[in-house]
Structure 1
Amino acid sequence: MSDIIPVRSGEELNDKTVKEFLIHHFPQLSEEDPLIINQFGTGASNLTYELKLGNWEGVLRRPPLGPVAPKAHDMKREFKILSALHPMFPPAPKPYLFSEDEEVVGSPFLIMERRHGILLNTDFPPDTPSSHELGEKLSEMMIDTLVQLHQVNYKGTVLEELSNPDGFLERQVYGWIKRYHSAKTDDIKIIDELTNWLVKNIPSSQEATIIHYDFKFNNALFSHDFSQLTGLFDWEMTTVGDPLADVGAALSYWCQNDDPDLLKYGLGKPPITVKEGFYTRNQFIERYAAKSGRDLSQIHYYMTFAYFKLAVICQQIYYRYHNGQTNDKRFKDFHLYVKTLIEHAVSVSREKAR
């Protein structure tokens, strides 16, 4: 399925300015060739564009329009992460450059290599029938890629300098609670039960690893025969911390067919993981535990926190829409999904107590 769309209204780039920048920084490019700009349609956070100039291709990433949360959408940090990670972890794309020149696109931005492949979001391509075997294969590939990432040695790289794994989980819990209240628009009565539970039940973290922290199918590309994962993207949240926080985040995106409809359809069509053959969350947990050797007995906590964290991300996006900072109609009902995620997080926290 193609993830490329024409640039959305209000999110256009200045073709002339961008082309001048590219010609200056990539001497092999020709002024005679037209610049073609399209947009990657998935994702609701950073704005990501496909650039084509002659035979050259690249990807430009910049923060969303309007005010953004403190420390969020840091393009310089993402550039540093990719620069360190790409040589050690092939699915991470190669970054080309970072620029703070806001006259080019209106904000700091980075440019990186263009990877090609099949994006799986909610459906398979029309010429690829769903099958139990393919669902299993893709599930295993995703889980094994996450295990592989968590095995990368970050010591002595810039990733060590950018991170502070000591006290990671506690900072995350308190930080995301603060972010929720900063972006709050609607009263959700059950929120206090959830945040109090998260604060009181923080588990001891396992040995820190590199974590992606936004690991899901629509941040990955696969070869056309689905034999390999050709790219993993959106490294904005990457850090060094508790690997089970990464597993929990992945599981919060991993819907299964028997989930409540409000959870499956909260962002539109259900993710591809509801189709036949894809692992259940329990199967995901079992395979990750077997491949990594880690103890996942406290995974219910990490899943509860991950659903809450996802709710906060959606709330921050809805806050921008609610306050007129974006007119993207995809976000107009996000507050309803926020409520669903918070209610589901509470149900996961209660489940272990039964």
Structure 2
Amino acid sequence: MEQTKDTREVRKGEELDLEKVETFLHQHISNLPKAPLQVRQFGTGHSNLTYQLKVGDWEAVLRRPPMGPVAPKAHDMEREYKILKALHPVFPLAPEPYAFDSGKVLGKPFFIMERRHGLVFDTKFPEEVAASPELGKRLSESMVDRLVELHSIDYKKTELQHMVKPEGFMERQIHGWIKRYDQARTDDVVTGDRLKDWLKSNIPSSMEASIIHYDYKLNNAMFNEQADMVGLFDWEMTTVGDPLADVGAAMSYWIESGDPELLKTGLGKVPLTAQEGFYTRDEFLEKYAEKSGRDLEQIHVYVTFAYFKLAGIIQQIYYRYKKGQTNDPRFAQMNVFVNNLIKHAEETAGL
């Protein structure tokens, strides 16, 4: 099988039942070539599992939840599938979804979607491009522009209007993530009580609602060699809500060179955004404000909450590791990162 650079052999314990998947494909995909199914796995990501499917010259991606028990309402494949169906016609960077299964085939829900090809910029520059500050600046600009574009779409003209409840968004988010953090907390992470109290006392008045990706980071996007975005992935957290919550979440992932070492390396190697040429967080925010026309006076509240929310997400992953529900060695020290994120959020809040 042709080996693309963004895939690897399927990790042990995360194999698919090829016969069942192949039967499903022939039932739901028209004009499928008569050739054996070949599967490889995308190696990035800490949450949902994604696989490259190939049947002859036909390609697609299968996306499913992680192995073992998962948090309630997390990894909702059907919701993500419906979001992509609503989004793809108005925001073509979202891949087209092809088919969904509720769990009858593999025991867990999954969906099949379009396979995109391009360059993913994560912790190092791909071999196909020459690393330069100018490229970093172009990638940064593309990230800002596409976020502004997403936030400008009228969600009321899509099926998303029937799936969301934008009123009281930030209040629900802050109280909801405090609850999730508490439910997943293990005895080796801090309570974060001082930060939680501050967040509850500083809930921002949400501006007009827009479609928000809510996991918007450089390695969730795909680009061509000219740094134009050609795909945007991981729509699991997407909803309609306060666009500044999306900006805050993006900034919690946007590492810069002067950040503390543990913040830089908490999810592995240092992201490319810390390199010369990439926007700083302040530059990203300035460009977003300029191009969107939105007032970012309260952005420190959104960024503070984003660090807390990220701590909650990482803690849910660490909880699964601590309880023996996964043995992925990448998760073993994530409690240290959670504690660091809480501390960083407190500093962002001025506590």
Of 30, 41, 44, the match for 1:39: 41
Q: Which has the larger displacement, 327-336 or 18-27?
A: 18-27
Root-mean-square deviation (CA, aligned residues, Å) is 1.3
One-letter amino acid of the counterpart of residue 18, structure 2: D
* Conserved? CA contact 1:23–1:30, under 8 Å: no
Aligned pairs for 1:243-322 (under 5 A) are 243-322=243-322
Q: Which has the larger displacement, 328-337 or 175-184?
A: 328-337
Which residue is 2:240 aligned to?
Answer: 240
The answer to whether structure 1 residue 184 and structure 2 residue 176 are counterparts is no
1:163 alignment partner, SS class: coil
CA distance in 1, matches of 2:57, 2:130: 33
CA distance in 2, matches of 1:311, 1:200: 19
One-letter amino acid of the counterpart of residue 97, structure 1: A
One-letter amino acid of the counterpart of residue 256, structure 2: Q
CA distance in 1, matches of 2:19, 2:166: 43
Residues 106-128 of structure 1, C-alpha deviations (whole Å, 9 max, x = no match): 21111110011001110101343
Q: Which has the larger displacement, 168-177 or 148-157?
A: 148-157
Which residue is 2:9 aligned to?
Answer: 6
Which residue is 1:208 aligned to?
Answer: 209
1:161 CA drift (Å): 1.2
User: Under a length normalisation based on structure 1, what TM-score does the superposition of the two structures give?
Assistant: 0.96
Which residue is 2:120 aligned to?
Answer: 119
The answer to whether structure 1 residue 144 and structure 2 residue 161 are counterparts is no
1:190 CA drift (Å): 6.0
1:187 CA drift (Å): 4.7
* Conserved? CA contact 1:300–1:348, under 8 Å: yes
Which residue is 2:111 aligned to?
Answer: 110
Q: Which has the larger displacement, 236-245 or 324-333?
A: 324-333
1:76 alignment partner, SS class: helix
One-letter amino acid of the counterpart of residue 12, structure 1: E
* Conserved? CA contact 2:308–2:345, under 8 Å: yes
1:227 CA drift (Å): 3.9
Residues 182-203 of structure 1, C-alpha deviations (whole Å, 9 max, x = no match): 1111354460111000000111
Q: Percent identity?
A: 61
1:49 alignment partner, SS class: strand
CA distance in 2, matches of 1:181, 1:36: 42
CA distance in 2, matches of 1:36, 1:135: 35
CA distance in 2, matches of 1:254, 1:23: 41
CA distance in 2, matches of 1:47, 1:76: 15
1:270 alignment partner, SS class: coil
Which residue is 2:91 aligned to?
Answer: 89
CA distance in 2, matches of 1:74, 1:273: 30
One-letter amino acid of the counterpart of residue 309, structure 2: K
Residues 270-324 of structure 1, C-alpha deviations (whole Å, 9 max, x = no match): 1110111000000000000000000001100000000000010000001111111
* Conserved? CA contact 1:190–1:343, under 8 Å: no
User: Under a length normalisation based on structure 2, what TM-score does the superposition of the two structures give?
Assistant: 0.96
Of 52, 56, 65, the match for 2:54: 52
CA distance in 2, matches of 1:189, 1:309: 14
* Conserved? CA contact 2:188–2:335, under 8 Å: no
One-letter amino acid of the counterpart of residue 195, structure 1: K
1:42 CA drift (Å): 1.1
CA distance in 2, matches of 1:105, 1:204: 43
Q: Which has the larger displacement, 264-273 or 303-312?
A: 264-273
* Conserved? CA contact 2:189–2:338, under 8 Å: no
CA distance in 1, matches of 2:191, 2:12: 37
CA distance in 2, matches of 1:117, 1:127: 10
CA distance in 2, matches of 1:159, 1:24: 28
- Between the two proteins, the alignment pairs up a number of residues equal to 348
Instruction: Name the CA shift for 1:190/1:319 in 2 (closer, same or farther; >3 Å).
Output: closer
* Conserved? CA contact 1:2–1:118, under 8 Å: no
One-letter amino acid of the counterpart of residue 57, structure 1: E
Q: Where in structure 1 are there 5+ consecutive unaligned residues?
A: none
CA distance in 2, matches of 1:289, 1:276: 22
CA distance in 2, matches of 1:41, 1:130: 23
One-letter amino acid of the counterpart of residue 24, structure 1: Q
1:155 alignment partner, SS class: helix
Which residue is 1:350 aligned to?
Answer: 350
CA distance in 2, matches of 1:205, 1:146: 18
One-letter amino acid of the counterpart of residue 130, structure 2: P
Which residue is 1:135 aligned to?
Answer: 136
1:25 CA drift (Å): 1.6
CA distance in 2, matches of 1:284, 1:27: 43
1:20 CA drift (Å): 1.3
1:28 CA drift (Å): 1.4
